[in-house]
Amino acid sequence: MRKACENPPKPTVERLPIYRRALEILLDEGCEYTSSCELAELAGVTASRLRKDLSFFGRFGTAGMGYPVRELLDAVNSILGTDRLRDVLLVGMGNLGRAIANHAPLRKCGFRIAAAVDVSPAKVGRVICGVRCYPPSETARLVREGGIEFALLTVPPGAAREAAERLAEAGIKAILNFTPVHLRLPRSVVVEEVDFGILLQKVAFAVTQGGGENA
Amino acid sequence: MRKACENPPKPTVERLPIYRRALEILLDEGCEYTSSCELAELAGVTASRLRKDLSFFGRFGTAGMGYPVRELLDAVNSILGTDRLRDVLLVGMGNLGRAIANHAPLRKCGFRIAAAVDVSPAKVGRVICGVRCYPPSETARLVREGGIEFALLTVPPGAAREAAERLAEAGIKAILNFTPVHLRLPRSVVVEEVDFGILLQKVAFAVTQGGGENA
DNA sequence: TCATGTGAAGCACTTCACAGCA
DNA sequence: TGCTGTGAAGTGCTTCACATGA
């Protein structure tokens, strides 16, 4: 039954966005240099893990000095692609879709909601939360002409599968899936599930498990 | 610098909610028995991984037959605590807060938004999206009298730290943190971060990394 | 002297492969 | 015969500890 499939080569790399966030805080505070200890503390990892992670991409520090904040942040931004603005397609302009369209912090990560797709005739053609709304039939055109690579899937559960397949056919590269539906798409499409219910179950279980000793 | 701290004893267990979701689908389809292969396929894991995970909690299958869907689902629900309804406190009744208050699938996981907290006088005292809104000063009372263990943090970034500390003092057990702020709380509080920006960066990076071969 | 970068040891999780049972 | 449950092997990530260089 199926080998080690869902284990793509993520060699510690998904921690880079967290380092990036910590570096921005240090930059805002006016720090010019930081150490692997300080940065690791801010990011919530160990110092050696941080150094290993960074060393995977190059040498950014100076022995005896630490890391130059500005330069390291630039390097991380370059690696992550957050040094440029990238367009995102919002699929499903319901409550969650509107909340995300208004979610300011996405901008700071270099993402812009370029357009939205929704089945409701009442929404199509209008600009909602600063985003123009199109019918699902326009999906492929929007993706192609806009050069859009990423989609946020915020449709009702029953519409998730069809919408995701439409996105895959349109050539989208990655989907952030907010629906409680496990999508089965070609491996060329990166899918990340964000299921609020599963996340709540996870923390709830963690509480009942480790829930003996309190500080 | 700080040992292996943020690595709580999650022994493969965070996959249980995914099995639960798959089992509910099978139950809806009227299946009485399933196999580790079928269930693993639905959940997106390997069959041996599934069997190991389940065997951690007991013996639920019959050799040669497979697993009885109804019984296994009951067992998983019992383990996860999803067999009973649990109250959740919503902190921050903004766009995202309202979207989550309206998010139907949470109910199917056994969670109910029991109350909301918001600083806005225009919201306090009203019922929004079916949830009554209280001022932040009522946090401790709500948690105590309602026996609430879980909170959803959906306030603006600038208010996150203070709101989280108030929750910790009120005795909340776990926080699902939707703000792009790294919370530093006593270890007795379980914190799970759900940062849309970081998630998008993660998939974006995955695309640029593995982005050579398409099907 | 001090902190980075990195080989080596250690650890945990995943997969393999088969004994056991219906 | 077929599938579960599980010890054993395998793999990859994390931590340790020190050589290196400022």
Span B82-118, pLDDT tens digits: 999 999 999 999 999 999 999 999 999 999 999 999 9
> Could you tell me the two tokens for B178?
């939707």
Domain ranges in chain A are: 13-80, 86-198
How many contacts, defined by CB atoms under 8 Å, are there between A and B? 225
Q: Which residues of B touch A186 (CB under 8 A)?
A: 215
Q: Is the pLDDT assigned to residue B6 strictly greater than 60?
A: no
**Beta-bridge partner residues of B62:** B66
State how far the Cα of A211 lies from the Cα of A197, in Å rounded to an integer: 20
Nearest to A80 among B40, B201, B211 (CB): B201
A54 CA: distance to closest CA in chain B (Å): 15
What is the DSSP pairing of strand A86-91 with strand B190-193? Answer: unpaired
Please tell us whether the domain made up of B13-79 is placed in CATH 3.40.50.460. no
Mean pLDDT for all residues in chain B: 91
Task: Choose between A199 and B12: higher pLDDT.
Answer: A199
For B172, the closest chain A residue by CA position comes to A207
Which of the four pLDDT bands, split at 50, 70 and 90, describes residue B209? confident
User: Measuring CA to CA, how many Å separate A47 from each of A51, B81, B92?
Assistant: 6, 36, 34
CATH number at A13-80? 1.10.10.10
Question: CA-nearest residue of chain A to B93?
Answer: A99
The tokens for B214 are 């398409």
pLDDT of B210? 61
Residue in A152, A147, A135 with CA at minimum distance from that of residue A98: A152
In this structure, the number of other CB atoms found within 10 A of the CB of residue A17 comes to: 24
- Among B102, B191, B194, whose Cβ lies nearest the Cβ of A95? B102
How far is the CA of A177 from the CAs of A107, A118, A163, A194, in angstroms? 19, 16, 11, 6
* Segment B28-43, tens digit of pLDDT: 999 999 999 999 999 9
Confidence of residue B12 (pLDDT cuts 50, 70, 90): low
Q: Using CB atoms, pick whichever of B4, B149, B157 lies closest to residue A105.
A: B157
| Per-residue pLDDT reduced to its tens digit, B144-173 | 999 999 999 999 999 999 999 999 999 999
Q: Which CATH superfamily is domain B86-198 in?
A: NAD(P)-binding Rossmann-like Domain (3.40.50.720)
Nucleotides of chain C in contact with protein CB (under 7 A) are 1-7, 12-17, 20-22
- Chain B residues touching residue A45 (CB < 8 angstroms): 6
- Residue A92 CB partners (closer than 8 Å, separation 6+): A117, A118, A153, A154, A155, A156, A159, A163
Beta carbons of A99 and B94 less than 8 Å apart: yes
Q: Gap from A82 CA to D20 C1', in Å?
A: 33
Tens of pLDDT along A123-166?
Answer: 999 999 999 999 999 999 999 999 999 999 999 999 999 999 99
- From the candidates A100, A155, A199, A213, which should be mutated to test the interface with B, based on the most B CB atoms within 10 A? A199
Tell me the mean pLDDT per 10 residues along chain A, length 215. Answer: 32 82 96 97 95 95 96 96 96 97 94 98 98 98 98 97 98 97 92 95 86 35
Protein residues with beta carbon less than 7 Å from any atom of strand D: A 9-12, 45-46, 48-49, 51-52, 62-65; B 3-4, 7, 35-37, 47-48, 51-52, 54-55, 59-67
List C-alpha distances in Å: A133 to A78, A121, A125.
31, 10, 5
- Using an 8 Å Cβ cutoff, are A138 and A118 in contact? no
Residue A75 CA distance to nucleotide D19 C1' (Å): 26
Predicted pLDDT of residue A20: 97
Q: What is the least distance, in Å, from the CA of A204 to any CA of chain B?
A: 7
What share of chain B has pLDDT > 70, as a percent?
91
Residue B165 · residue B185 · CB < 8 Å: yes
